[in-house]
Amino acid sequence: MDLLTLLLILDSTIRLATPLLLACLAGLYSERAGIFDIGLEGKMLAAAFFSGAVAYTTGSAWLGLLAGIGASLVLSAVHGIASITFRGNQLISGVAINFLAAGLTVVIAQSWFKQGGRTPQLVGDARFEPITLPFADAVKDIPVFGVVYNELISGHTSIVYIALLLVPLTWILLYRTRFGLRLRAVGENPASVDTAGISVVRLRYIAVLICGVLCGLAGAYLATALQAGFVKDMSAGRGFIALAALIFAKWRPWQALFACLLFGFLQAMALRPDVLEQYLGFKVNAQLLDALPYILTVVILAGFVGKAIPPKAGGEPYVKER
């Protein structure tokens, strides 16, 4: 495999891993606080539609991004009210959000644009364009380094760089700040946090809202950066893949990055079956390559890659002792 082909595959890996990484970090905040969120898929889908619709209507990708985050935050608030305030079943609440988003996005899109449940094609400022990093053109002729910097590191959209920066920021926030210590404690032993005079409800709502913001970023990226508009069910199970990556990473941010890159790599290889055929010496079934990320998701969720222990208080509503 020549260097340019490898860089093209790795470039696609980063692009395809970005929505998974954002959704994975979203689930990390929520589940570290003890709130399981199966509704990542639905939030991404709702964010993708509203970001695409508003970006097309206003001609601004940034306004579309804000609309996508807003839609995701609304669904996050619904999940928070159901699972924190009313102490409902967190899994059922998440599944309901997925069904709600899957139905409403198509109905509203058809009513709004009358194009079979999709938005019109986004062009110009309605899409996030790739950013050329400083000195990319100046160093492109330097062997290896210049090609890597110009073809792999430079040339992504702003959301890609935001997602990558969020990994160290999340690590610092969770493991080097008082807020992170309290957030992790809420997911492990909420009673001790309550005893210390800290509001469990408040911390869990903050975590759920952070989850909403990150899912909004993931959905907006799908519609305004990775693709040029919204189409029905465009999240395509990425929310569930992100959950599998989160379990695979054992609820840790750096491991989440590598897990999402692995899934992104599998998706990138599905787009380039010719590369595998060249080195394996036989024709590769394209449908099997497309299914590999989902097969790995099932393997991880079935527990075949090692035991992953979730936060002890995860999934359990907290009832304050009187």
Q: Which domains does the chain have, with CATH numbers?
A: 3-301 (1.10.3470)
Q: What whole-number distance in Å separates Cα of residue 16 and Cα of residue 22?
A: 11
What is residue 303's predicted lDDT score, i.e. its pLDDT? 64
Q: What is the pLDDT of residue 306?
A: 61
Residue 185 contacts residue 193 (beta carbons within 8 Å): yes
pLDDT attached to residue 76: 96
Residue numbers in the chain where pLDDT is lower than 50: none
The answer to whether 23 and 218 are in contact (CB under 8 A) is: yes
Which 3-state string (H, E, C) describes 2-13? CHHHHHHHHHHH
Nearest-angstrom CA–CA distance, 65 and 295: 31
SS (H, E, C) 219-286: HHHHHHHHCCCCCCCCCCCHHHHHHHHHHHCCCCHHHHHHHHHHHHHHHHHHHCHHHHHHHHCCCCCH
Structure token pair of residue 230: 């919204």
Let me know if 66 is exposed, middle or buried by CB neighbors in 10 A (0-12, 13-18, 19+): middle
